[in-house]
Amino acid sequence: MTPYGAGRPLLTPVDRDGSRRSARLRRLGLGERPDASFDSFDALADRVAEVTATPFSIVNFIDENRQFFAGLHTPAGLRGGADLGAAAASGTRGSRYLARDAGYCPHVLVRRKALVLEDVCDYPRFAGNPVVDDIGIRSYLGAPLIDRTGVALGTVCAVDTVPRAWGRAGLDTIKLLAREIVVQIEHREAANP
C-alpha cells in the first residue's frame, strides 16, 4: 500500500515480477529512454486512440520504479506528455515517465488481465487515484502486454475524460490491440538480436 493525497491509500498490488520484467525490458531495449525508434510506439498509440475513439492512449512499459510511455497519443498531438498535466511533467520526450504506483496500469500489469472502468468514480479503489484528480480521467480501458516469454512488459490503454460504456466490444478490442503490440515488440526483438 502506498500513501498519497489527503491520507487516502492507493492500493497498488504487490509486483512480484518487477525484477524479471526490468531485466527483460533492458534486454529488449525498452523502457529506459526514448529515442527515434519509439516513433513506432507513438504510431501504435495513435492507432489505439483511433480504434477506441479516445483522447488519450498509451503504450506503457513498467519497471520496478516507474512507468514509461513509449507510445503516447494526446488530444493536441503532443508526444512529450504535457497534455497529461502535472502527472507527466514538462513536455519533452524525456517527460514520458510516471510514478510506478500512479494510475491504473500497474493494476493491469500485476493482475495480468484487462481492466475496464466505465466510470472510475464508481470504484472506491480507483476513484481517489491521482490520475483522476490531476488529469481528470473518468474512464479507462487497458490490457497487459505479455510477451512470448510470459513476462508482462507493460500495458496498452485508452482513457477518456468522460464516462464510457466500453462493454464487451471494448474489452475485446483492447485485448486484440495488446496482441498486435506484442507482435510488434517480437518483430523488433527479431530484427535486433
What CATH number does residue 160 fall under?
3.30.450.40
Query: Which tens digit of pLDDT belongs to each residue from 32-81?
Result: 665 666 678 999 999 999 999 999 999 999 988 889 999 999 887 654 44
Residue 6 lies in a domain: no
Residue 1 lies in a domain: no
The pLDDT of residue 26 is above 60: yes
- Alpha carbons 101 and 112: distance in angstroms, whole number: 16
Residue 9 lies in a domain: no
Q: Is residue 127 within 8 Å of 121, Cβ to Cβ?
A: yes
Query: Which tens digit of pLDDT belongs to each residue from 1-23?
Result: 333 334 444 566 788 888 899 99
Residue 3 lies in a domain: no
178 burial level (CB within 10 Å; 0-12, 13-18, 19+)? buried
- Alpha carbons 132 and 11: distance in angstroms, whole number: 15
Residue 4 lies in a domain: no
Question: Averaging pLDDT over each range in 29-43, 122-136, 144-158, which range is the top one?
Answer: 144-158
- Alpha carbons 182 and 184: distance in angstroms, whole number: 5
Residue 51 lies in a domain: yes
Q: DSSP assignment of 61-82, as one string?
A: EE-SSEEEEEEEE-TT--SSSG
Residue 110 lies in a domain: yes
Residue 2 lies in a domain: no
Query: Which tens digit of pLDDT belongs to each residue from 100-118?
Result: 878 899 999 999 999 999 9
pTM for the predicted model, two decimal places: 0.84
Range of the domain at 115: 14-191
State the total domains in the chain. Answer: 1
Strand bridging mode 152-160 / 139-146: antiparallel
